[in-house]
Structure 1
Amino acid sequence: MNKQSFTIILSLFTLTGFLSGCESPQQQRPVAFQAFEHTRLPGYSSQQLEKDFNLLVSSLKEGHTGLYAYTSQAQFDSLINARRQLLRDGLNGLAFYNIVAPLVAATREDHCDIHLSEEVKKYMVSDGLFLPLVVINLQEKTYILNDSADGTPLKGFELLAVNDLDIKAIKERLFASFGADGYILTSKYRYLDFRGLAHEYAKVIDQQKENTIIVLNPVTQKKETHKLHAISASALATLHSAVLKTNTIRQETDRPAQLQLMPHNTALLSFRTFANSQYRKYQMDFRQFVDSSFRMIAANNVSHLIIDMRDNGGGSEGNEDFLFSHLTDQPYTKYRYVQAADTNFSFLPYTDYAAEADQRELRLELTEENEWATDGKLYRKSGLYAPAAPRRDAFKGTVYVLIGGWTYSGGAEFATLMREHTSAVFIGEEGGGGYSGNTSGTILELTLPATGLKIDIPIIRFFLDTKKDRFGRGLIPEYAIQPAFTEFIKGYDAELEFAKKLISAPSSH
């Protein structure tokens, strides 16, 4: 069974959930969903909402193997009680979404996602009102990437407030409604990049025809206030495209992976994904690509290898350790354990496994691959999906790994293996995936029958064999590097250029 591919694509209609790392569930402020109560979306009866609420809660408790990895059962139950009290007759799908999203978020697992219903998606496309802003978050500040529709200069200005809510409070509200593994914040900032802030603001905070923003002028260093008209979802997409076309912003490579030979006996090996399906789209085979790349690296006497994992959101299980096997000649243990929640689930009729044939296949797979231990837990059988063996001809030069908030799932697992078992140097920002693993694998998509909200419930917990982790955090690089806004807008690759400087330094030769 392959770990499900997780390609992180910023979408108007998807939301990962997670409680803010700065607040406990008891400290969470109620979501201000009243702003969405007077839309033309139809309402639901209190009985319908209660049933959907209860199904969501019971399914998470039954199926999510890592439910209490970061949030205790007492905290989770307290949050359930607090959110349940917000239910009332007549709430629409968007209001209900804002009530239950923190429940999904409390898992602190980025593979556990919540999605708007088809009804609400259509509403957001046809009637949604969005801030006309495309942004980038650098050094925890938010910078605007576009001017206003009337030509008023805003590009490069720091966003300080929207509609009397300062940007710190906005981020706190949004961070409490979508998530990352554990207490990681870098992936949250990356999720708010470009259209992300406008999307999440419209889903979680408010939709107004007229908006007031306060910005900091980078030239005068003075605050300015501007009025902005809201725009539609399609207009926001057009604005985003225009920003990318008119600037030289660094973008991820189209191909899933590529090798570049560079001066100073250096090679750059970039992996956008570990998903086999993505390689097949380009008539590529992941393992053949990795093997041929290291043959070329050896043939060209490369002594400095830069591995770019900044856009790698994981993919097919085993590809991360296959790549790692070319970088170590020492034996290692990948997982301390792999755990499943159960072999059968009562909520399957409400999932994408509703067909009896699919349920039988799932039960058979889980039964064949796992066994009950004396502690009452269900673990993967020994010897299954054994990691790739280390190679005698493994690369012996210096390795520099570029990571960031999108380094996630299998991408983060590869980074952990490199930190645990090699002397690789890491450059960038804290990785977006948990250092010690995640809950992913087989994911059951639950559809709530009344409201139509969809929730992805991961049922396999992968716990890496680590000794250097910090609980609830991602991999922390030796060199914390981010571009300044003026560098970012010109496409200057600060992380890559920093790696080149380290390589060209006399001590690296």
Structure 2
Amino acid sequence: MRHASGMLMGRRVRALALLCGSTLGALALGVLTSGVLALVPPPATAQPAVQASYSPDQVLADLDMLYQRLKADAFDLYAFTPEAEMDSLYQTLRAGITGPMTRSEAEARFQRLVAMAHQGHARVEGVYGAWAAYRKAEGRAFPFMVRIRDGRLHIAANLSDVPHLPRGGEILAIDGVPAARWLERTRAHVSAETTALADSILEYDFPMYLWVEAGARSGFKVRVKTADGDAFDTDVAARTASEIAAVAGRQPPRLDLEHPLRDARILANGVGYLRPGPFYNEAAKTGADEWDVTAFRTFINNAFGMFAAKDVHRLIIDLRGNPGGDSLFSDVMVSWIADRPYRFFSSFKIRVSADAVTANQDRILHDAVAAGPISRRFADLYATAHPGAVVDFTLPETQPNPGGRFQGTVYALIDRHTYSNGVAVAATIQDYGFGKVLGEATTDMATAYGAMERFTLPATGITVGFPKAHIVRPNGDTRPRGVTPDIAIPAPLIETPDDAMLQRAAEIAATGPARH
């Protein structure tokens, strides 16, 4: 089952790529805002040519169509936002269309409406392309990577021309506007169920959304508070992608969960450590290769073979920063620790719509290999259902690994940047009792509106994603919330290479029982 495939890099690589304006950075949105259980998008179909600008009538017509199709397509568009509030914003946005707009201006306006639904799989992604183009053209941006904790904005990496700004220092204001207000304004562009999820996304994307809100700036006046409580104002120059790339290598060392991307080893205290990495083929050269599980299966099987050979009885599976992917991959790993058949959901209901049917047909028609058997299951379901109907979608249980399983105790380590299928894996481990979950709560949802599909608006060619399904975690908890760890391990404000979270997890694992 495809969860979310768009995120091609992990958190720190992705954040820096976005600041530097790389194409990969622009593609990285998929899983950060994609959340749980999004299907692979359908192949590109014929779209209208991109114009320099669009007339008010064109933009109005597409905005009207966007809202009407979202109402028909989304499983429950008003699950978190009352219809009257969305109607009010829709009318406000509509009234503001008084002159020609560029595609990026229309995309930003449309995303404001879609984000108001507060569903991670309802979104317009065009801002990433506009941002990448702006950065490629040496457009200047806010020169900090940020950490957001308890609604407060902190400096995670200082990429500015002012070297004395402290890492971990709190940004109190930008250009005289309180940081809390900037967070409120930038969150309005983010499709997310909760403020916590929006903030975890903004830890990657804050400079981009500040650009959307404030426009291009040559510099910023920032007010910063140090750890000892001193506050001061300073001017910092906005920086180009090349300038940020040049200074990035001179930053103090930070925790790097990207190298190696996948890791299997024995920690000093004899606890096994497995970092599976993303649940897709990150080395893929084509769309079909992205779902080739061969290398991943070899890695996982070799890892568990090594744990058996080394007589490992306690294992940490590190899902921190995991962007998600496909259960085709994660089941290879989970089946090694499962003591009985399982599913990653207890309920999977789909609202049938014309756009969902069309997207599924396009996927099968244009890329049957990437579509796989799940799309054909959807097609069979749609063949007997009418638009507007809500139907149950079923999948067979996944069986434990037929060649044997890990007999020891398992601990899954999660954090606020565990997304999508990573969340589903953690929920499965917790709900079936396959192991204990450690770390900080995920911001992405374990029960969510997902299985995203897309449609394209006829005048502007803007693509809109919508969640066609409601997927409930294995234990049946329907509340929209993340995975709460069995044992909490707070994440440091600024993570350093000594990896305090993993150290604490290893201590907990080492003193735990040796057998599940």
TM-score, normalised via structure 2 length: 0.78
1:32-86 alpha-carbon deviations (Å, 9 max, x no partner): xxxxxxxxx9653220110121232233233333534434555544443343233
2:399 maps to what in 1?
Answer: 388
What is the rounded CA distance, in whole Å, between the counterparts of 2:303 and 2:364 in structure 1?
Answer: 44
Q: 1:162 aligned to 127, 151, 174, which one?
A: 174
The alpha carbon displacement at 1:154 in A equals 4.0
For structure 1, the 5+ residue unaligned runs are 20-40
Q: Give secondary structure in 2 for the equivalent of 1:134.
A: strand
SS of aligned partner of 2:203: coil
CA distance in 2, matches of 1:66, 1:397: 42
Quote the Cα distance in structure 2 between the aligned partners of 1:276 and 1:158: 38
1:267-286 matched pairs, under 5 angstroms: 267-276=272-281, 278=283, 285-286=295-296
1:135 aligns with 2:143: no
Residues 1:345 and 2:358 aligned together: no
CA distance in 2, matches of 1:293, 1:16: 29
Change (3 A) 1:89 1:202: same
Of the candidates 261, 264, 267, which is equivalent to residue 266 of structure 2? 261
Deviations 1:265-318 (Å, cap 9, x if unpaired)? 310010221114547689952233323322322232212110100122211233
Q: Which residue of 1 aligns with 2:98?
A: 88
Relative to structure 1, the CA distance from residue 364 to residue 135 in structure 2 (aligned partners, 3 Å threshold; closer, same or farther) is: closer
Per-residue deviation at 1:257? 2.7
Q: Is the 8 A contact 1:308 1:403 kept in 2?
A: yes
**1:108 paired residue among 118, 123, 129:** 118
What is the match of residue 499 of structure 1?
Answer: 505
**2:447 corresponding residue in structure 1:** 436
Q: Is the 8 A contact 2:325 2:421 kept in 1?
A: yes
Q: Which residue of 2 aligns with 1:202?
A: 211
Q: Percent identity?
A: 21
Q: What one-letter code is carried by the residue in structure 2 that aligns with 1:215? A: V
CA contact (8 A) 2:6 2:30 kept: no
User: Shift of residue 409 of structure 1?
Assistant: 1.4
User: Is 1:379–2:392 an aligned residue pair?
Assistant: yes
Per the alignment, in what secondary structure is the counterpart of residue 438 of structure 2? Answer: strand
Q: How far, CA to CA, are the matches of 2:435 and 2:357 in structure 1? A: 44
Distance in 1, matches of 2:385 and 2:361, equals: 26
Counterpart AA for 1:5: S
Cα drift, residue 121 of structure 1: 4.9
**Following superposition of structure 1 onto structure 2, how do residues 41-440 of structure 1 map, counting pairs within 5 Å?**
43-65=53-75, 67-116=77-126, 121-123=132-134, 125-126=136-137, 128-138=139-149, 140-144=151-155, 145-146=157-158, 148-180=160-192, 182-183=193-194, 185=196, 187-193=197-203, 196-219=205-228, 221-239=229-247, 241-242=248-249, 246-254=251-259, 256-276=261-281, 278=283, 285-342=295-352, 344-345=354-355, 358=366, 366-369=378-381, 372=384, 376-380=389-393, 382=394, 384=395, 386-389=397-400, 393-422=404-433, 424-440=435-451
1:232-287 deviation digits (Å, cap 9, x = unpaired): 34434444x33xx5322112234553211223331001022111454768995223
* Aligned partner of residue 62 in structure 2, secondary structure: helix
In 2 relative to 1, CA 238–205 (structure 1 residues): closer, same or farther, beyond 3 Å?
A: same
Q: CA deviation at 1:227?
A: 1.0
Number of residue pairs the alignment of both structures matches = 472
Contact kept? 2:429, 2:435, Cα under 8 Å: yes
Following TM superposition, by how much is the alpha carbon of 1:422 offset from its aligned partner in structure 2, in angstroms? 1.0
Structure 1 pair 397/283, CA: closer, same or farther in 2 (3 Å)?
closer
Question: Would you say the 8 A contact 2:187–2:198 is kept in 1?
Answer: yes
Does the CA-based 8 Å contact 1:16-1:113 persist in structure 2? Answer: no
Q: Note closer, same or farther for the CA distance 1:451–1:125 as it changes in structure 2 (3 Å cut).
A: farther
Separation in 2 of the partners of 1:271 and 1:376? 38
Give yes or no for contact 1:430–1:476 (8 Å, CA) kept in 2.
Answer: yes
Aligned-pair CA distance for 1:339: 3.6
- 2:279 maps to a residue whose letter is F
1:465–1:147 Cα change, 3 Å: closer
Residues 1:324 and 1:481: Cα distance change in structure 2 (over 3 Å): same
Task: Give unpaired runs (5+ residues) of structure 2.
Answer: 34-50
CA deviations over 1:299-349 (Å, ceiling 9, x no partner): 32212110100122211233333422222313444433334443743996x
Q: Distance in 2 between matches of 1:112 and 1:76?
A: 13
1:475 maps to a residue whose letter is V
* Residues 271 and 314 in structure 2, CA contact (< 8 A), matched pair in contact too: yes
Q: Distance in 2 between matches of 1:329 and 1:507?
A: 17
Q: Which amino acid aligns with 1:501?
A: E
- The change in CA–CA distance for 1:248 and 1:120 in structure 2 (over 3 A counts) is closer
1:7 aligns with 2:7: yes
1:65 touches 1:458 (CA, 8 Å); kept in 2? yes
The one-letter amino acid paired with 2:505 is A
Counterpart-to-counterpart distance in 1, 2:368 and 2:340? 41
TM-score w.r.t. structure 1 length?
Answer: 0.79
1:296 partner amino acid:
M
Give the superposed CA RMSD: 3.9
Matches of 1:292 and 1:18 in 2, distance apart?
30
CA distance in 1, matches of 2:140, 2:52: 18
Which range moves more in the overlay, 138-147 or 285-294? Answer: 138-147
Instruction: Provide the rounded CA distance (Å) in 1 between the counterparts of 2:130 and 2:507.
Output: 52
Aligned-pair distance for 1:352?
Answer: 11
2:355 aligns to what SS in structure 1?
A: coil
Is the 2:351–2:389 Cα contact (8 Å) retained in structure 1?
no
Shift of 1:502: 1.5
> What is the CA-CA distance between 1:451 and the residue it aligns to?
4.1
For the residue of structure 1 that corresponds to 2:412, the secondary structure is strand
Q: 1:74 to 1:388 in 2, by over 3 A?
A: farther
Which residue of the partner structure matches residue 455 of structure 1? 464
Give the Cα separation in 2 of the matches to 1:345 and 1:202.
32
